[in-house]
């Protein structure tokens, strides 16, 4: 028996040794063979290179070199920097493996008072100071073999899911000899930011994020609204809430389209963006707006020739998709719909991967009966929507009043479309008569008059407010850097549309996959259910309060007429009137109690949901793992007992 136990002990020791050796062997083998293998279980495959990225990397003609300057020792105390750096290093490895030798990268550790710090500083990188007074470097320099050079002074943090796009955009630009030209016609201060030129001159101006993104991918050329021609180098024309355009400018746009030019038009029946200079989402929400700042009719006859129309008198309200202001008691803002995948076209390459759009006071696009073009809706409202008179938006009617008075027309309204196919010129008789060309335009040949095109490609959005920072991006500061975290895919829609119209589809699949935020739909359903019960009673309370106020004024007037000898401050009421007032005030108090009870129940349901989620995460999952481990241990113990019992 002792010999058997001794043999069994030796076998166990040898087995354990073999297991240890096998463990290290498998790790060494897998590290060498499966060094870059990984399993991506995220819903949007955020950590898997997109097909567009791979296409760009394999098509590189001009070899690219990237140097990443990184203060790794200091970054160990900065979780945000460390996490972003690890993701970036992984991407550089994957990019290099997919670029067929045309992409080389080098990671340069940076320490204070070393040659690497001098090199990073000379390259244009910016060191950020930590709370301990240390300087951390985390930037990169990318070059090609000619004279192309891209510098990122400090890699943006909190953009882990956007790093792939940021990095491949740099490579894409270095692989091109020149940037495509985007013409811009707008009355919005995109280049100076909220507050316009006055704020910029005072040092308070910051360009809108969408403008910065456009500058990063294209050469943006501003075109005056009184110009008579579109410069020949412009490949795509972006028209964003323009001022009233002259007939000469309209003709220039018309001929640009007839000649094969592509257009992205953002036309708004009511521009909230031009009404406020403040970036806060809720700034002056209830303040009267100034005038009907509409661009829905700015293109005049061009929209007719394209086969569509946008009414300047109505904006779209959506009861199912109204925006809920975080941490507030506001009812949903029906004029600010949050559009999800159900309202976004999944077939068009520009919108196929978009997951969330935030619009504001958008118009409705109608197809004309005699349209000769193919019109494809890209973004629509839900069927629980309808048109609201412009005046309600103009004077910022109270949100609960809009909700109370709203009656849906039970049809989806089209908010964005792609227009393709045959278009005839809106100026069949040629250029309109007008002033002579200015000196700048005289040097540009307008060419012969074009009467039609068979290959128009236009994207039209009945909203311009959605490019305002407050509707789709959060801007924060970290270590002195301006960080931009998108909360919706508005920027992806604009830049992706321009890239598509430019003829570059590879970047679109990458850009649009970046959005990873998901709305709390169940919480919103709870809120809507409570509001359906709460709002009618709230409005009934308001009506009752008005009756009480009117009745008090009536009693005051009666008492004053009955006692002319008094000094005017004494209120005389009968016992019946006093009883009536007491009953009204009691009813008012009961209604207020009911209102508070409903609000408490709303929070209670949401809190219960949160508690259930926390319980599942904190208790249930560990219990499941523990139960599985206990069951496995019990099973193995029984197997060993049965095996021992069978031995002689």
Model confidence pLDDT, tens digit, residues 390-447: 776 665 555 667 777 888 998 999 999 999 999 999 999 998 876 544 544 444 446 7
pLDDT at 289: 41
- Please state the φ and ψ torsions of residue 478, each to the nearest 5 degrees: -140, 120
Give the Cα separation of 612 and 610 in Å (integer). Answer: 5
HEC readout, 617-628: HHHHHHHHHHHH
Q: How confident is the model at residue 202 (pLDDT cuts 50, 70, 90)?
A: low
Among candidates 455, 363, 371, 448, which has minimal Cα distance to 413? Answer: 363
Same domain, 447 and 556: no
Cα–Cα nearest to 310, from 409, 232, 416, 214: 416
Residue 440 and residue 484 share a domain:
yes
Q: What is the pLDDT at residue 178? A: 77
Q: Is residue 398 part of a domain?
A: no
- The residues near 428 (Cβ < 8 Å, ≥ 6 apart) are 451
Domain boundary among 518, 537, 567: 518
For residues 371 and 501, membership in a common domain is answered with: yes
Q: What's the pLDDT tens digit per position in 574-627?
A: 677 667 767 766 776 776 676 666 666 656 666 676 677 667 767 677 778 778
Q: How many domains does the chain have?
A: 4
Do residue 594 and residue 510 come from a single domain?
no
Asked if the structure places residue 407 within a domain, the reply is no
Asked, for residue 351, whether it belongs to a domain, the answer is no
Statement to judge: residues 453 and 373 lie in one domain: yes
Select from 461, 490, 518 the last residue of a domain. 518
- What is the average pLDDT score of the chain? 79
**Between these two residues, 644 and 346, which has the higher pLDDT value?**
346
Question: Taking a C-beta distance cutoff of 8 angstroms, is the pair 512, 595 a contact?
Answer: no
333 falls within a domain: no
Do 147 and 193 share a domain, yes or no? no
Q: Are residues 13 and 116 in the same domain?
A: no
**Residue appearing with tokens 């360009």:** 207
The CATH number for 126's domain is: 3.40.30.10
Band of residue 3 on the pLDDT scale cut at 50, 70, 90: low
Say yes or no: 636 and 610 in one domain.
yes
Nearest to 333 by CA among 415, 399, 407: 399
**637 found inside a domain:** yes
Split at pLDDT 50, 70, 90, the class of 153 is very high
Q: 404 lies in a domain?
A: no
Query: Are 555 and 571 spatial neighbours (Cβ–Cβ below 8 Å)?
Result: yes
Clarify whether residues 205 and 266 are in a common domain.
Answer: yes
Q: Answer yes or no: is 41 within a domain.
A: no
The answer on 297 and 195 residing in a single domain is: yes
- Residue 409 covered by a domain: no
Q: Report pLDDT digits (tens) over 81-133.
A: 888 898 899 899 999 999 989 999 999 999 988 999 999 999 999 888 888 78
- Judge if 276 and 425 occupy the same domain: yes
* Structure tokens given for 504: 């570059």
Check residue 24 and give its pLDDT. Answer: 73
**Residue 536, pLDDT score:** 66
**Does 41 have pLDDT greater than 70?**
no
In order of 21, 70, 612, the CA distances from 619 in angstroms are 37, 40, 10
Q: Which of 502, 518, 534 is the last residue of a domain?
A: 518
Same-domain check for residues 1 and 60: no
pLDDT tens string 482-521:
677 889 999 999 999 998 898 766 766 665 554 444 556 6
Range of the domain at 101: 51-152
User: Is the per-residue pLDDT at 214 higher than 90?
Assistant: yes
- Parallel, antiparallel or unpaired: strands 128-129 and 181-186: unpaired
């Amino acid at each position: 028996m002792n010999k058997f136990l001794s043999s069994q002990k030796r076998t166990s020791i040898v087995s354990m040794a073999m297991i240890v050796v096998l463990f290290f062997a498998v790790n060494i083998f897998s590290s060498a063979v499966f060094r870059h293998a990984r399993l991506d279980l995220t819903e949007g495959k955020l950590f898997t290179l997109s097909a567009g990225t791979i296409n760009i990397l394999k098509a590189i003609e001009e070899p690219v070199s990237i140097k990443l300057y990184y203060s790794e020792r200091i970054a160990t105390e900065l979780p945000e920097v460390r996490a972003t750096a690890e993701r970036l290093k992984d991407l550089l490895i994957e990019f290099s493996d997919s670029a067929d030798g045309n992409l080389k990268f080098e990671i340069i550790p940076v320490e204070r008072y070393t040659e690497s710090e001098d090199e990073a500083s000379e390259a244009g990188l910016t060191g950020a100071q930590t709370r301990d007074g240390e300087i951390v470097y985390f930037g990169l320099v990318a070059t090609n073999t000619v004279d192309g050079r891209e510098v990122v002074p400090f890699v943006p943090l909190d953009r882990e899911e956007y790093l792939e796009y940021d990095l491949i955009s740099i490579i894409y630009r270095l692989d091109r000899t020149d940037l495509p030209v985007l013409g811009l016609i707008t009355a919005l201060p995109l280049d100076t930011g909220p507050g316009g030129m006055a704020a910029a001159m005072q040092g308070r101006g910051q360009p809108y994020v969408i403008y910065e993104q456009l500058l990063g991918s294209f050469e943006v050329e501003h075109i005056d609204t009184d110009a008579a021609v579109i410069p020949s180098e412009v490949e795509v024309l972006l028209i964003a809430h323009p001022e009233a355009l002259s007939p000469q400018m309209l003709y220039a746009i018309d001929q640009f389209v007839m000649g094969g030019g592509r257009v992205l038009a953002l036309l708004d029946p009511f521009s909230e963006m031009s009404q406020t200079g403040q970036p806060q989402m809720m700034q002056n929400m209830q303040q009267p707006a100034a005038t009907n700042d509409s661009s829905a009719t700015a293109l005049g006859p061009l929209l007719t020739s394209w086969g569509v129309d946008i009414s300047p008198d109505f904006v779209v309200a959506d009861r199912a998709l109204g925006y809920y202001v975080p941490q507030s008691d506001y009812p949903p803002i029906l004029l600010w719909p949050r559009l999800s995948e159900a309202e976004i076209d999944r077939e068009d390459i520009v919108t196929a991967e978009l997951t969330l759009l935030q619009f504001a006071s958008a118009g409705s696009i109608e197809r004309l009966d005699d349209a000769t073009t193919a019109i494809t809706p890209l973004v629509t409202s839900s069927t629980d929507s309808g048109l609201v008179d412009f005046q309600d938006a103009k004077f910022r009617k109270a949100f609960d009043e809009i909700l109370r008075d709203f009656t849906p027309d039970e049809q989806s309204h089209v908010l964005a479309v792609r227009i393709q196919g045959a278009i005839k010129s809106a100026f069949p008789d040629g250029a309109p008569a007008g002033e002579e060309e200015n000196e700048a335009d005289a040097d540009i040949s307008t060419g012969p008059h074009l009467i039609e095109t068979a290959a128009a490609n236009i994207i039209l959005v009945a909203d311009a407010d959605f490019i305002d920072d407050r509707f789709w991006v959060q801007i924060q500061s970290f270590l002195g850097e301006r960080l931009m975290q998108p909360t919706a895919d508005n920027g992806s829609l604009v830049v992706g549309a321009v890239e598509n119209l430019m003829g570059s589809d590879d970047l679109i699949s990458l850009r649009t996959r970046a959005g990873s935020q998901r709305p709390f739909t169940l919480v919103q359903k709870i809120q809507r259910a409570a509001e359906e019960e709460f709002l009618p009673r709230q409005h009934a309370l308001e009506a009752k309060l008005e009756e009480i106020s009117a009745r008090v004024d009536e009693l005051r007037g009666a008492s004053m007429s009955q006692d002319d000898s008094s000094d005017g401050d004494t209120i005389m009421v009968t016992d019946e009137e006093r009883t009536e007032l007491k009953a009204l005030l009691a009813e008012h108090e009961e209604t207020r109690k009911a209102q508070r009870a409903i609000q408490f129940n709303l929070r209670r349901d949401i809190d219960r949901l949160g508690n259930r989620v926390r319980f599942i995460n904190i208790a249930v999952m560990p219990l499941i793992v523990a139960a599985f481990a206990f069951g496995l241990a019990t099973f193995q113990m029984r197997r060993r007992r049965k095996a021992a019992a069978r031995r002689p």
